[in-house]
């Protein structure tokens, strides 16, 4: 497995990873209606490509046998919008390796904190990486009540390694 920058050719695979993660991993923590409205918001490959061109840092975990298996991003303000792993690759250390690369990049850029909105499954992952929950966010998507968590990690000045 290697971590590399996003490439335009990744868009189709990453959009599929996003959708499958929502449907298969999200369904462990959210109702079918909640999963359906979340899945409806998954970007198309074209939409994902457009998002990924806005200047954010982009990271993709590649399995030589299968191609992309996870991806993440980091906005210049330290916000992580995407952190998704293919369901069959979850729990194998891939997301941890991906996050480590993202965090190292953030430190090298002089960022002092990382933030995200985490689902139930992602919340547990972020907590293991040293984040704290700032608040539970309850809201509606297409008339369906759903929630996530605002999470934050303060970075020290030291690089990991």
pTM of the predicted model as reported, rounded to 2 decimal places: 0.91
**Residue spans per domain, the chain:** 2-111
Which residues have CB under 8 Å from 7's CB, separation 6+? 60
pLDDT in tens, the chain (161 residues): 899 999 999 999 999 999 999 999 999 999 999 999 999 999 999 999 999 999 999 999 998 777 999 999 999 999 999 999 999 999 899 999 999 999 999 999 999 999 999 999 899 999 999 999 999 999 999 999 999 999 999 998 654 44
Domain 2-111 annotated CATH 3.40.630.30:
yes
């Amino acid at each position: 497995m290697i971590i590399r920058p996003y490439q335009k050719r990744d868009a189709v695979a990453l959009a599929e990873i996003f959708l499958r993660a929502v449907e298969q991993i999200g369904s462990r923590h959210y109702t079918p209606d909640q999963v359906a409205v979340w899945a409806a918001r998954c970007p198309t490959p074209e939409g994902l490509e457009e998002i990924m061109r806005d200047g954010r840092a982009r990271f993709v975990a590649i399995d030589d046998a299968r191609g992309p298996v996870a991806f993440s991003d980091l906005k210049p303000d330290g916000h992580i919008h995407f952190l998704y792993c293919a369901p069959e690759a979850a729990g194998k250390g891939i997301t941890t390796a991906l996050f480590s690369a993202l965090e190292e990049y953030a430190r090298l850029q002089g960022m002092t904190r990382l933030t995200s909105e985490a689902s139930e499954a992602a919340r547990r992952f972020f907590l293991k990486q040293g984040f704290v929950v700032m608040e539970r966010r309850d809201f509606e998507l297409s008339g369906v009540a759903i929630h996530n968590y605002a999470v934050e990690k303060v970075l020290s000045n030291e690089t990991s390694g």
